[in-house]
Structure formats: C-alpha cells, structure tokens
Chains A and B, each alone.
Chain A
Amino acid sequence: MAAFLINTLGLPDWLAWTVTAVIAAVLILHVIAGGALVFIWAERKIAARIQDRLGPTRTGGRFGWLQSLADGIKLLAKEDLMPEGADGLLFRIAPYVSFCASFCAFIALPFAFDFVGQRLNVGVFFVVAVLGLEVFGVILAGYASASKWSLFGAMREAAQVVSYEVPLGMCVVVPVMLAGSMDLVTIAEKQAGWFTSWYLFHDPFTFVVFWVYVTCAVASVNRAPFDLAEAESELVAGFHTEYSGLRWSFFFMAEYGSMFLVSALAAVLFLGGWNGPVPVARLLGLSEGTGDTAGYFVRLLGCGNLLLKATLGVLIMMWVRWTLPRLRIDQVMTTCLKYCTPIAAAMFAGAMLWQLALPGGLIRGLPSWVSRPAGEVREGWLEGPGGLPAGGGGARAASPSVVRVMP
C-alpha cells in the first residue's frame, strides 16, 4: 500500500509509510474491539442456549444483538474505582499492558496474502512471545489490587501460562518444520490448494498435534476449563475482582483478542491460513498475487476465509467453556506436564521421522492437489542472492544438492 501511495498519489516516503502504519494499526484495533463486541454477544447467546435459556433478547431488536453496545455504554459511565491500599500506578497500567500485548501480536498475523501488518521473518515466534506477555498485565493487576483473591488468581495464572508455553511452543514447531520457515505468510502459502494440503491432514502426527495445540491454546488464553485465574466459585472474580468500568473491559477486550489470535494462529499453522478448502480462485484462473482488482478481491476472499476460520475457533472455545467443568489447579498442571508436553514431543519426533521416511506422502503417485509432499518445500531454500532465500524464504528455485554440505 505504501508503494501505491508513493507511486500513484505522489506522497513523500515518510508520509506514505506513516499513513500505511496508521491504517494498519487502526484496522487491527477494529478487529479486536469490534470482534470483542460481537464475541461477547455471541458468548452470552451461546451460553444461554447451552443452558436452555434465551440470553439477551431485547436490546436492538430480535436477537438482542446490540446488547454489547449497551453494556459498553454502561461500562463507560461507570465510576472508576480503585481499592484504598492498591498500588496506583500498577493498578492503572495493568489493563493496558494486557491489551497492548494482545494487540501487538496481531501485527505479525497475516489476514490474507498481502494483508499483514508487518511481515516478520520470525512471525510465529514473535506471536508466541508477545502472547506470553499478556499474563504480565494479569499479574500486575493481581498484585496491585491489594486483594488476596486477586493475588491468588494472578499467581495461578502465572504458573499456568508459564507451564503451557512449553507444549504450545512444541506444537507450533511442527508446522514450522514442515514449511521450513517461521514466516507466517510462507507457512500459509505452503498450504495452498485443496483442503488435503492443509498441515492438519499432512500426516497423523500433525493431526494429533493440532488437538494438543487447541488444548494448550485454550489454557494459554486462560479460558474455561482452564480459567483458574478467575475461578468465580473460589476467588470471587480472580485477578479482576477489584476492577470496574472501562479498565475491566480492557481485560475482556484483551481476552477476546487473544482468543481470536490463537484461533487465527491455529488457522494459519494447521488449517491452511487464508486458503479455502476448495481453491475457488485457482479453479477460476485467478491469482492472489497480482496487483489488479481481481487479485485484490481474491485476497479479500482469503481474508474472509481466515476470519471465518478464526471465528469458528472462538465459537468452539465458547462451546468448550460451557460444556466442560473447571479443572483443579493440580489437574491443570497434570494435563500440561504429564500429557500435553510428552504428547507434543513425541508427535514432533514422529512428524520429523515421517518427513524422513515418507517424504512423498503415504501413497505415492497421488495428484499434487490431493497430497502435497513437504519435500517439495525444501527445494530452493538456499537459493537467492548470496545464498539467502529471496523474499523471506519463499524462493522457488530447485537445488537440493546445496543442503548436503551439512556434515
């Protein structure tokens, strides 16, 4: 877009880049804030239906779809309270820390082929690292509230998130290994084609790893059945007991933002990213990479694909939340250390061996749109000027012989 501003409108470089950055930031902000509004409404409706109730019905007509907006106005008008013994600075700043962490992770998330805030060479790593910072806001909130409920909640959250980062990282490594890149755009590009080329269906190990990832992702965004930090039956409301009004809503925006983020990450890593189950555009002879209007609409379609997949992920999390009972803290730790971590490690090794033993897929000779062997993505990763992959590891030239330099 910056190139468009510079070339077509004749803006100076710095202005073009600034405008691009502002537009990207505002768009991401809207995805989070608008998403939170919709998801909170959806959560209330889904919870109600699962519990055989109606949920919000009045505000905004038929389905109560304006309920979140009404709630938002109510929250805005609420008094901003702070406990007397609280640490003022940390108490005030904690919601923003949480929200910023959730927001920043979106920067590296590709919504479609060219729709990414900042394409990073280490996109996956960046997202996982920044997502881990969200808990920092929770801990600050819990500590600064000067309330034992809050502190208990925060400490539980810290233990949980720090533990679950290990299996989560291991799950994330598997698609990275298959794609040969940590760039989220490249990983999604490798899964282009029919749904059979998604990494979910790459081999049995990735299929299992996906479900481990789902478990760890739910735990790492602190949702039920892992919502120990705000266990309302034991800790009043956990880390946000003392919060009200807009600050409280920032925590919720952060929570729904990260739910959406881990779902979108799952979509990019395992479910083909912005590629639909059927490559409609390719069958029609269109390409997403072209700069004309058709290419733009193909990308827009891809963006819709990704949003749909991520939204489905969020809805599944809600379904899980209202179905399963909350785990005890020791059960949470058992799930992480005794089940998720060993399973993820074993599946990682399995996927690696699968790559070595069956680089062409289980059945040889299948048409390329049914099964895309990961071996093909290896070719040319050392090509490009100076031996570096051109364009963030997406080089296409074939030279597998270079790899044999390795001792």
Chain B
Amino acid sequence: MMGDAAIAVMAAGAVGQGGMPFGSPLLAAVNWQAAFFMLFAALACACAVAVVLADNVVRMAFYLVLSLGATAGLFFLAGADFIGAMQLMIYVGGTLVLLVFGVMLTAQAPFVAIKPSSGDKVLAGMVGAALLAVLLQAAFRVEAWRRPAAAAAEPVAAAPSATPLGMALLGIRVDEPPAGAVGTRGGYLLPFEIVSVHLLVVLVGAAYLARAKRRRTPRAIDAAASMVSPQERVGVAGGVPAAGGRR
C-alpha cells in the first residue's frame, strides 16, 4: 500500500507527454497523476465506509488504517512527503494504540460485535451529512480548484517540503520571502511553542493520573489486627469481624 505511494510519486512524473516511438498512445494519454489520485481516493473512501459498516473493533481498526494509509498516499502523490510520513507516524501509529485499548477494554468475549442502536445511526448519519455538506461547500468555493482553473494549472514539481516547514516553525518563512519584514512575522514559532507546552502539560497530567498510587502506611493497630488470625479476631471482637483495617 505504502509502496504504491512512493512508486506513485515516481510515476507521477510520467504525466503523459508526446513523442512515443512505440507504446500505445492510449496509455500515454492517461493522466497518471489523476489515475493514482482516483485510486487512493477511492481506497480511502471505501475503507472509511467499511469502518462505519464493520461491527468488529479490530476490523474497524484495520479498515481505518487502510483509509489513513491511502490518505498518506494522497499526500505523497501531492509531493507533500513530510505530511505523508507524518500521517503514517501519527495516525496509523495512533490507531495502533487505539486498537490495543479497544481490544483490552471492550473485548469480553472473542470477536465481540458492536451493534449500534438505530437512534445512534440516525444521529451519526445526520452529523456526518452536515459535516460533508460544510466541507463540500467550502471546497467548491475555492476559485483555483474550479474546473477550468484547475485544468489549466501546471502540475507543480515536488519541492522538498520538510526544510521550509521546519524553518517556518522556527519563525522563518523561506517559501514566502517577507517584503522587508524580519523576525517571526509569518512564521509559526509562537503556535509551535504553545502546542509544545500544551503537550508537555498533557504528558505530565497523564503521568500524574497514571502513577502508581502510594499506599497509605497502615496504622499500628490495623497492622496488629491483620496479624491476628480470623478465629482470634472473632474472639477478640466478640463475634463482629474487625471493620476498617487495611486500605
């Protein structure tokens, strides 16, 4: 799957051009970029639908990984290899953790099926349709993506994307040279720092919540009571088992 992605990037350079001494003109006429785009897009959409329709946690996770991987393929196809690798690292790796927790927390029996109620389905369908409507409307509003403009646009050569991104995170926009402006203007240093500190806080909070709870040291009387055997305890307390005791 990912292999196709990288090969697709290579093949994307083969956007059909003239001058073929042999080989069918039909194959050369195919817009390979568009073909690979459709392949990955169809895979992503089909797998996304499969995630919703599947009723087994692990199968859902599997389809989700396929869908996200196909999206990474789309990124590679667009020449955004940093975002593509990021997609693989974060989303696919994240799904892995999700899967582990899903199995650990939900699976009482092997291959447990999750059957949502019909109310859930209606609600989810409405939310999904609303989101789709918003996205579609937003996408069709962009002038440059309209049909004549998009068809006329030259395919952009894939530029190395990691270095400009890294520089922009440090506050230097190398892709858009600022007109006389020097400094952090246009960069993302502040958001980057905010997000880092936020993540650090989350990390510390998670470590705090998940820490091993320190057991309170038992009081001397409880320790003594726990050392006595039950029969003796009954004798001592007059038939009533010792309450309280260890925490």
Contacts and interface: CB of A to CB of B under 8 A. Distances in A.
Interface residues of B, number: 62
Given A85-B110, A121-B81, A136-B65, A128 B89 contact: yes
A13 B17 contact: yes
Given A20-B10, A120-B6, A407-B183, A14 B89 contact: no
A406 B171 contact: yes
B244 interface: no
Given A20-B10, A100-B1, A158-B100, A129 B160 contact: no
Contacts of A387: 174-175, 177
B38 interface: no
A12 B28 contact: yes
Contacts of A25: 3, 7
A58 B110 CA distance: 45
A104 B174 contact: no
Given A12-B20, A182-B162, A136 B96 contact: yes
A17 B14 contact: yes
Interface string B13-42: 111110111110001101010000000000
Contacts of A128: 89
A159 interface: yes
A392 B15 CA distance: 22
Of B89, B171, B175, most A-chain CB atoms within 10 Å: B89
Contacts of B6: 104, 107-108, 117-118, 120
Contacts of B227: none
Contacts of A132: 89, 92-93, 96
A89 B63 CA distance: 12
B62 A90 contact: yes
B85 A125 contact: yes
A159 B171 CA distance: 37
B184 interface: yes
Interface stretch (A63-71, A138-146, A215-223): A138-146
Given A100-B1, A128-B89, A140-B62, A155 B100 contact: yes
A102 to B, nearest CB: 11
A349 interface: no
A62 to B, nearest CB: 38
Contacts of B93: 129, 132-133, 162, 165
Interface string A10-36: 111111111011001100000000000
A95 interface: no
A184 interface: no
Nearest to B65: A136
A122 B162 contact: yes
Contacts of A93: 62
B48 interface: no
B11 interface: yes
A130 interface: yes
B151 interface: no
Of B1, B27, B163, most A-chain CB atoms within 10 Å: B163
Interface of B: 1-3, 5-7, 9-11, 13-17, 19-23, 27-28, 30, 32, 56, 58-59, 62, 65, 81-82, 84-86, 88-89, 92-93, 96-97, 99-100, 103-104, 110-111, 159-164, 167, 170-172, 174-175, 177, 182-184, 189
13 contacts: A14-B16, A16-B14, A18-B11, A18-B14, A21-B7, A87-B59, A104-B2, A108-B6, A121-B81, A136-B96, A140-B62, A393-B163, A406-B170
Interface of A: 2, 10-18, 20-21, 24-25, 85, 87, 89-90, 93, 100-101, 103-104, 107-108, 117-118, 120-122, 125-126, 128-130, 132-133, 135-136, 139-140, 143-144, 146, 151, 155, 158-159, 162, 165, 181-183, 381-382, 386-389, 392-393, 405-407
A-B residue pairs, 5 tightest by C-beta? A12-B20, A129-B89, A17-B14, A104-B2, A14-B14
